[in-house]
Structure formats: structure tokens, C-alpha cells
Amino acid sequence: MSKRIVIIGGVAGGASAAARARRLSEDAQIIVIERGPHVSFANCGLPYHIGKEIPQREKLLLHTPESLAKRFNLDVRTRTEAVAIDRNAKTVRVKDQVGAISQIAYDDLILSPGAGPIRPNVPGSNARGVFTLRDIGDMDAIIAYIDEHAVKRAAVIGGGYIGVEVAEQLACIGQKVTLVEALDQVIAPLDPEMAGILAEELRKHLTLTLMKRFERIRTDDAGQHATGVILDDQSVVEAELVILGLGVRPDVSLAKNAGLEIGKLGGIAVNEYLQTSDPHIWAVGDAVEVRHLPLEQQALIALAGPANRQGRMAADNILLPRKKSYAGSLGTAVVRVFSKIAACTGANEKQLRRLEKPYVPLYLFPGSHAGYFPGAKSIAMKLLFHPQSRTLLGAQAVGEDGVEKRIDVLATAIKGGLTIDEIAELELCYAPPVGSAKDPVNLAGMMMQNVADGLVKTVAPGDVVQAKPDDAFLLDVRSRQELDRLGRFRSAVHIPLDELRGRLDELPKDRPIHVFCQSGLRSYNAARILSHHGFDVYNVTGAATALRLFQAVANPGS
């Protein structure tokens, strides 16, 4: 007999599961239940239609119920809400757009309810002009409100991925934008010094307010329309449009009411095969808890890539004899912020510190391609590796070109369990317009090797910035021209690298020496020279460029 598979929720996880199930079985009856009007749309593209970078709305509509029925023979029921699951009877109770209730039987059920935007219950939160952005309807409403009310000022609350993307796009269509974030940085998966590069870029185009919480929405005298946002210091952000980008919460109400196990983080608990506590019910996407691989603990990771792969795997495990295991996620993500691209994968330093996991941080600032070819752009890269296992735990990068390429390679290295030695030896593409003979990924591996092999000791730039002047002897080996152009750092003694061997008598042997240049390569050479002559020397990882990032972090609200 043919199997009946019911899928609750479309978009990334549900639509992928449905299409994969049909490719595996022509006989299966596949029913997709979607409470909204659109079953398959590019939700990651929503901000870019608001900003007119994607001019055609229909480009966001990947499939309609009609196209899915024609191509995949799927029974897609939009504007239909699943309201209850009877696990004993193996049925789903659904309500259609006119309120009619019916029962749908299943052999296997896939839950892909996603995650809903957080909308705090504060005064004014239901006023006109206050929006969240989750689906096509939200996008349409925002665009219509801007046009209808000739909006000129917008406040975006929350500096996560969605908040930053929406703020960027609103600024691009001429809105006077204020982005408000309660933390001391935007894009929380990045560490503060890396996020500081994005903050600097944001301030070129809009007003960025950090370390302030929004308390309520100010409205007009009639209490109908938003006119601004009141912050916790009682300052006012004038705005006719307010976008709430405060993050998302997994939609687990259906699963919870059905008695399925909910994890400690509030997501649906699944096993390695994506089965819930009921063996005939599977769950995928933003609503489930998955294993964060480098952190070795459960996490909520609301990203389209994992949701797509999970949907496919759930279909495989229902229809194929050999079960496939979902090993976990890395949280690999990328965001564009005007001229900058920021990407990350794996663990960040904040997480590793909190869990008290051993790690070594390293910074480098290589070019996006060969320096002698015109147009090379610097990439700020941060690496976190385990000194004993010699494995990479996480990586972050910010720049203008070639950023996501390097993070993708490093994400693959983490997923594949490559050692830092294998990363150093990766054979990657090289041609002067697009890369270097020593790719930034190879350089990263070589730097990690040098530290792990004991060829150089390092000190983190944040520790140098916070240190007292007499804690260590600070040595600057940049050229005199760089010093004149870029300025001195605090109490550092300046000896150019090429003069170092002849001036060793100016350095103390009873104090540690922290040496830096502009990006870290020359100071590494200096550290090798000094170590051969018996000095207790540490290379400031990331050098003066990283020191500048940490000086900016010291005053995040500016």
C-alpha cells in the first residue's frame, strides 16, 4: 500500500521534504498543510524587495500550490492551519480559511512550523506602523505603509541578521534609519571586535545606537500610529515606521499540545534521524533543537541551509531503508552590510569562554587576492582552534571581497574534522585576480601550526589593550613611514624590524616582550629573532590592525 505523508509547514524545510519524498516515491500520497497563502517563497530575500534591490515581487515566489501539484503531484493546502495532532489515531485536525474543521490521516508526519518573530507586549506595540518581518504578507504591508504614509524616518529594533539587513535596505531607499541594539554589538554570532567593523560601516549610512533597550512605542494623540520609540534612558527615536527585529522563537505549540518532547532550549527535541519522541512524527527547520558540533551541546539554529537539508533527510528516513543521521550544525552564516561582508562558522570566543573550553585565538588580515593585482581588499579573519587536538573550533571574517569563500572552506574543514596541518596543506584555487598562492585559508593553517608547534607564543590584542603599561615591554617593529602615517600605540617602543638585530641591547630580558607590526607577519619574524636570542617574546596576534579593533570595542556606544 502507498504511504501517506503529511507535512505541516512549507518554505525551506517542508517544501524540501515534500519534493524529496516525491522524487523517492511516485506512489506516496503527499499532503502539505500551510497556514499562510504562500507555500514556497524566498524568505531570506524579503528585505531586498523592500529596498528594491530585488525589484520583482514574483521572483520571491518559488512555487505555488498549482506548480507544485503539476511538477511533483503534491496536494498543497494553503490558508489551512493544523490545530491539533491525535497521535493515537494518527490524524491531524485542520481548519481551512472559512473555519471548516476536518481530519487528515497520516502514516508519517513531518513538522516544519518554523520560528515566529518575537513581539514584546509593550505599550504601542500594536500601533499602525509597527511591523515584524517573517513572510510575504509582512513584506507587502511594510512596503504599502511606507508608500501610503510617505514615511521618511524608520527605527529598526534589534541588530541581528534581519534587523541589520532591513536597516540597510531602508537606508538604501532614502529612509533616515536608526538601528537600536541592546547589546554592545550587532550580529551576536560575531565576537565584539569583529562586529565593530560592521558598526563602523553602519554608522556611515545610518544612526546606530548600542547598549540601549527600547521600552515602548510612542504613538500619536489618537493612539493609532507610531511616531517614535522610547528607549530605556527615556530618549526618543523619531520614526513613523518601526521594525521589530528582536529575534525568533521556535513555534512549538502544535508539538507541545500533542505531547511531544520539548528540549531545554524550547525547541522540538529530535533524535539523530530527526524523529521526535513519537517515531511516526519527524521535525525539521527552525523549530527543532540540533547538536552544535564544535560546542558539543544542543542549539537553536534558525538558518535556511540546515532547514533544507533536514527536510530532505526526513523524507529519506521515511522512505529509504537505510537511515541517515543528522550530525549537527555549525551555524555557518553570512550577512552583507553595505560595502562589507561578514561571515562566521562554528564557535565564537564568547561561547568558548562561557563553556570554559580550551582554545587559542588568532587574527590575520590577508588580501582577497594577490597583492600585486589591482583591487585586492583586506579580509579581517579570526580563528579559534584547540591547541591539543589541533582542530579548528570556529572562524569569523569581515571584508569586501572573498570573505564567504574562505569561511565556506573553513566550515568544510570543521565539518570534516581536518586538523590545522591539513588546513595548511589544502590545495585551493589560485590566479592573481581571485586568490593568492598562499590562500588566506592556508595562511591561517600555517599560523595555527606555528603556535601549536611552539614556534611562537602569542598574546591576544584585547589583553594588550587592557594591560597596564608596565605589565610587558611593548615593541613596535613597523617602519617609520607607517608610524608617521598611522600613529603610535600607547607606550610602545619603536624599533623597525630591519634594525632589530643591531639594537637588541635596548630590550629587556627580565620582562616579557609583546611585539607587533601592522598585520602580524613582520612581528612574527621579530618574535623568531628575539626568541633565538633568549628573550621572552610574544607576538600580538593581529598586530596594530587588531589593536585598533579592540580600542574601538572599548567604546562601543560611540
Query: What is the β-pairing status of strands 130-131 and 61-63?
Result: unpaired
Query: Cβ(489)–Cβ(472) under 8 Å?
Result: no
| DSSP H or E stretch at residue 109 | strand 108-111
Can 429 be counted among the known catalytic residues? no
Alpha helices in 497-539 (DSSP H): 521-532
Q: Among candidates 424, 420, 458, which has minimal Cα distance to 439?
A: 424
φ and ψ of 529, to 5 deg: -60, -50
Distance CA 505, CA 500 (A): 10
Helix axis angle, 304-319 to 11-24, nearest 10°: 30
Q: Among candidates 452, 486, 487, 492, which has minimal Cα distance to 472?
A: 492
| Rounded alpha-carbon distances, angstroms, from residue 546 to 243, 381, 552 | 33, 10, 10
Question: Is the Cα torsion angle 198, 203, 208, 210 positive or negative in sign?
Answer: positive
| 149: three-class secondary structure by DSSP | coil
φ and ψ of 111, to 5 deg: -100, 125
The residues with which 228 forms a beta bridge, in sequence order, are 218, 238
Distance CA 291, CA 269 (A): 11
**Longest CA–CA separation in the chain, Å:** 89
Query: What is the β-pairing status of strands 380-386 and 360-364?
Result: antiparallel
Distance CA 21, CA 5 (A): 9
φ and ψ of 210, to 5 deg: -105, 160
Query: What is the β-pairing status of strands 380-386 and 391-399?
Result: antiparallel
φ and ψ of 56, to 5 deg: -100, 115
CB-facing half-sphere around the CA of 261: CA atoms within 13 A: 13
Helix (H), strand (E), coil (C) string for 363-409: EECCECCCCCCCCCCECEEEEEEECCCCEEEEEEEEECCCHHHHHHH
Q: Among candidates 217, 224, 214, which has minimal Cα distance to 246?
A: 214
Q: Which of 44, 344, 429, 517 is catalytic?
A: 44
Residues serving a catalytic function are: 44
